[in-house]
Structure 1
Amino acid sequence: METVLDIRSGWIPAHEGESGDRVFRSGDGRHYAKLAKGARAGELAGERDRLGWLADKGIACPEVVAWRQNEHGACLIMSAIPGVPAVNLSGPDLLMAWRSMSEHLAAVHALAGDGCPFDKSLSTMFTRATKVVSRGAVNPDFLPDEDKDMSGQDLLARVEAELPLRLAQEAASLVVCHGDPCMPNFMVDPATLRCTGLIDLGRIGVADRYSDLALMLANAGESWSNENENENETKEAFDILFSTLKIEAPDRERLAFYLRLDPLTWG
């Protein structure tokens, strides 16, 4: 894989994501390189294309610097977004940054009228979930404890039972979604606690905005799970997010539906 990226030229290993992609940081910290092989190379090309589409949309996100591909895999080199991932913040600091993070997500959702060519609709994601389940590829680490003993087929059937209702709701609520707005994908200035941008945009596409909101809230809740006043912080974050997106009557059952679907779409 290193033949796609010359690691002798000052690239430093950063981390390996849940997808298995390897990430390197340039020595000066100005760029990141993401490496993928096999089928993941196609997924990485999708992230490249999405970043290209976002380039003139006013969204704070990485810019594509270079793309390399050969028989060993693919490499996407991107500009770095300053700050630290929101997942690294303490519970109180995360709450301080939350409104700014919500505003960044709202800016992505506001792109709905810009002709986004990428589809992340419920029907598309359910088809993806069906394929993941049929391969027996559901990752139990992505499931809540109460679902870990359920079979993939039972998990899928539970989602399918709600499809007619959720498809009808989606039709009136389609926006451009981030697709994976979890805490590692929001960058925050640790001094000002203002969001500086969004990363990992390989799943951006037109979808029900509730699919984004469910993931953002659930993942943030993990940051407050061991904090005092957890219940108050979670409620305040919930209120801030929905007021920022101007949703007057949040639908908690709809949020729960997307949390049941999402773990089935990775694999």
Structure 2
Amino acid sequence: MHLSTQGLPDPRHLLPVPPAGIEWLPVNLGESGDSVYRRSDGVAFAKVSVSGSDGVESLAGERLRTEWLAPFDLGSAKVLDWHASQEGACLVMSAVPGVPASELPAGQLLQAWPSMAHRLRLLHEIPAASCPFARALSTMFERACDVVARNAVNKEFLDPEQQDIPPPLLLDALRVQLPLRLAQEARDRVVCHGDACMPNFMVDPRTLRCTGLIDLGRLGTADRYVDLSLFLANARDSWRGPDDELAARKSLFDTLEIGEPDDGRLDFYLGLDPLTWG
């Protein structure tokens, strides 16, 4: 969610001084509310959260997650610099090569899709016990309860068919399923990206192969369907029609060797996610 920065310190003051002849260029990326900058030589990105924006703690968590995942060679960024003070925090990371999958036309996205699905599989195959970060369903459901109670749900994040339904009713429908989903999570917890949307998968536009993952602020152990639901749903607007969508679905579950996908789990996590931003 993008938060208002009116009255807050200028985030550019927290950026490190770049080499001579290089500058920081503002970029509009993600939903975290951080100010994002790209170095003009293309080798690094910086995220800045100013004090009073409620993002410093989240940015610190992204730093730790980025440092933790880097040695697994999944193409994720490396932390180049970190600075925190009373004014805020700045995280500088190496740039992951390629373009976001969200920028690819349907035909190219279908070609890139198997390598993206394989990258997701490799992430899920990291031993969950080795991951110090949790994205527990109980925690995310509590967050959804808080967002709904504050009337902070962004309706643009909801499925169009749900935008006219009061968020408390959407939350109640999910609450009925909660015991079942908690039991499933206990049996099938993996390392999840947590926000496995198309902008967070980088693709080489020449080879159409996935080069890496970005924006790891929600990485943690969870039910794998947290990632699968967003991965499938976020690509829907890219497809040319039902045939593309069916092909993508089959390719994903074939790559993950899931013979009988659980559509109920997909729908549950797809319904929960937009209630957790706010």
TM-score (norm 1): 0.95
Give the Cα separation in 2 of the matches to 1:144 and 1:249: 24
Q: CA RMSD in A?
A: 1.3
Matched AA of 1:100: S
Residue 124 to residue 115, structure 1, CA distance change in 2 (3 Å): same
**What amino acid does structure 2 have at the position aligned with 1:153?**
P
**Corresponding letter in the other structure for 1:91:** A
Q: Does 1:257 align with 2:276?
A: no
Match of 2:168 in 1: 153
Query: Aligned to 2:259, what secondary structure does the other structure show?
Result: coil
Which of 164-173 and 15-24 deviates more? 15-24
Q: Is the 8 A contact 1:13 1:23 kept in 2?
A: yes
* 2:184 paired with 1:166: no
2:39 is aligned to: 26
Q: Does 1:82 align with 2:92?
A: no
Residue deviations 1:27-86, cap 9 Å, x none? 210000011123111101000000111122222100000001222221100000110000
Residue 152 of structure 1 deviates from its aligned partner by: 2.0
* Aligned equivalent of 1:52: 67
Structure 1 residues 52-61 or 81-90, which shifts more? 52-61
- Residue 113 of structure 1 deviates from its aligned partner by 4.0
CA contact (8 A) 1:3 1:72 kept: no
For the Cα contact (< 8 Å) 1:189–1:195, is it kept in 2? yes
TM score, norm. by length of structure 2: 0.91
Retained in 2: the 8 A contact 1:23–1:33?
yes
- Larger deviation, residues 209-218 vs 57-66: 57-66
Q: Counterpart of 2:4? A: none
The CA distance in 1 between the partners of 2:198 and 2:29, in whole Å, is: 16
1:245 is matched with: 256
Unaligned runs of 5+ in 2: 1-10
Alignment-derived partner of residue 15 in structure 1: 28
Q: Give yes or no for contact 2:128–2:189 (8 Å, CA) kept in 1.
A: no
Q: Any residues of structure 2 matched to 1:1-267 within 5 Å, and which? A: 1-6=11-16, 10-37=23-50, 38-224=53-239, 227=240, 230-267=241-278
Identity of aligned residues (%): 52
Aligned residues: 263
Shift of 1:97: 0.1
Deviation at 1:112, TM superposition (A): 2.8
Encode CA deviations 1:5-39: one digit per residue, 9 max, x unaligned.
Answer: 15785111122432221111112100000111231
The CA distance in 1 between the partners of 2:29 and 2:66, in whole Å, is 20
Shift of 1:240: 0.9
Q: Distance in 2 between matches of 1:16 and 1:210?
A: 24
**Contact 2:202-2:212 at 8 Å conserved across structures:** yes
- Structure 2 CA distance, aligned partners of 1:127 and 1:39? 18
**Amino acid across the alignment from 2:15:** L
Higher mean displacement: 89-98 or 127-136: 127-136
